[in-house]
Amino acid sequence: MNKGLKKFKKKIKEISMSDNKSEAKDKKKELKLDDLPGVGDATKSKLKSAGITSIRALALYPISKLQDEVGIGEKTSIKIVKAAQEIEKMGFKSAELIWEKRRDLKRITTGSNNLDELFGGGLETGAVIELFGEYRTGKTQIAHQLCVNSQLPYESGGLEGAALYVDTEGTFRPERIINMSEGLDLDYGEVLKNIVVGRAYNSDHQVLLIKESPKIIEEKNIKVVIVDSIITHFRSEYVGRGTLATRQQLLNSHIHDLLRLSETFEELCVLFTNQVSAKPDVFYGNPLTHTGGNIIAHGSTIRVYLRKGKGEQRVAKIIDAPHLPESDAVFTITDDGIRD
């Protein structure tokens, strides 16, 4: 191990032993990719161009992807990832430490008390959440509402940050943001300024936008990332059984890019919407299932099925979550946004 890395690890140890925990946390946040010793300017430039802007992001990046996508040699890739993982202490941890971290998780309100209760107090950060259902079940409405609510103060159920919205279907509407902002007595002009929208025109473009998002997340203090919807382009571009394997591989890689975002940035909530398809072999019960198969099912942390209720009412049901029971909640879509 070179002297620079030893010195840097000693600095980390001093910070972690500080009596003032909040001060230590602030210092650790200052540790950027530029502080990593033994990495040349050319390599750092390649990493930043690929959206790897922090030591934590580098520690989470697969070595094979560094070689294929970033253009870094095998030996260098292994060396810098290992160094980043040592600094981030990415080994075994006690369950007590994991509990302490989860206990302090920030959550974002949906605007509906019923829906918040379904999620255990609001949508949690550090997770990838999937909303799937038929058209007009509220997927895009919830996505719009989160873009507004992310800007609320912590005490009001917000995250005091901006939102990034990847629009694959051309359904993002500033007019809806204005209505929802006015429903919360917010200045809609300021709210609109704090929402960064990327229109994805095909699946490759969609993947590229997410790969480039870390730079924007860091610069704009993004706290919510939305992909609405994740499957549209993949579904239309990869048609027939002959393309299924290729489509699923690309989808798998795309979802893992989203998972890395949720792991890399503190207080970041990642949500994507998904469509449904009918299973022809189902004669009893609900024939609808989410699209994307097991790749999407395994990639999501929390999965929620939305369906229509009476009038403007909608029903949300937890389908899969590691810590939440299967249950449902009724919410309403109003002019002011998502409400009970």
* Structural domains of the chain, with CATH: 3-91 (1.10.150.20), 101-339 (3.40.50.300)
Successive 10-residue mean pLDDT values, the chain, 340 residues = 53 46 43 75 84 86 86 87 87 90 93 96 95 93 98 96 97 97 96 97 96 92 96 91 90 94 93 82 63 85 94 93 93 95
Torsion of CA 175, 109, 128, 196, to 10 degrees: 30
Kindly report the pTM of this predicted structure.
0.85
Cβ-count burial of 301 within 10 angstroms (0-12 exposed, 13-18 middle, 19+ buried)? middle
At residue 30, the pLDDT reads: 46
Q: Which of 64, 98, 95 is nearest to 81 (CA)?
A: 64
Amino acid present at 316: A
3-state SS string for 134-196 = CCCCCHHHHHHHHHHHCCCCHHHCCCCCEEEEEECCCCCCHHHHHHHHHHCCCCHHHHHHCEE
Q: Which pLDDT does position 121 carry in this prediction?
A: 94
Beta-carbon contacts of residue 56 (< 8 Å; ≥ 6 apart): 84, 88, 263, 264
The whole-number pLDDT of residue 205 equals 97
Tell me the torsion sign for CA atoms 290, 294, 298, 299.
Answer: negative
Q: Three-class SS of residue 274?
A: strand
Which of 47, 23, 49 minimizes the C-alpha distance to 35? 47
Q: What is the pLDDT of residue 3?
A: 55
| CB 36, CB 80: distance < 8 Å | yes
* CA–CA separation, 303 and 319 (whole Å): 5
What is the structure's pLDDT at 134? Answer: 92
Handedness of CA 84, 90, 91, 94 (dihedral sign): positive
Q: Where are the beta strands (DSSP E) in 20-170?
A: 107-108, 123-124, 128-133, 162-167
| pLDDT at position 2 | 55
- The single residue listed with the structure tokens 């999937």 is 130
DSSP tag of 315: E
Name the β-bridge partners of 330: 315
What per-residue confidence (pLDDT) applies to 22?
44
Q: Report the distance separating Cα 149 and Cα 117, nearest Å.
A: 16
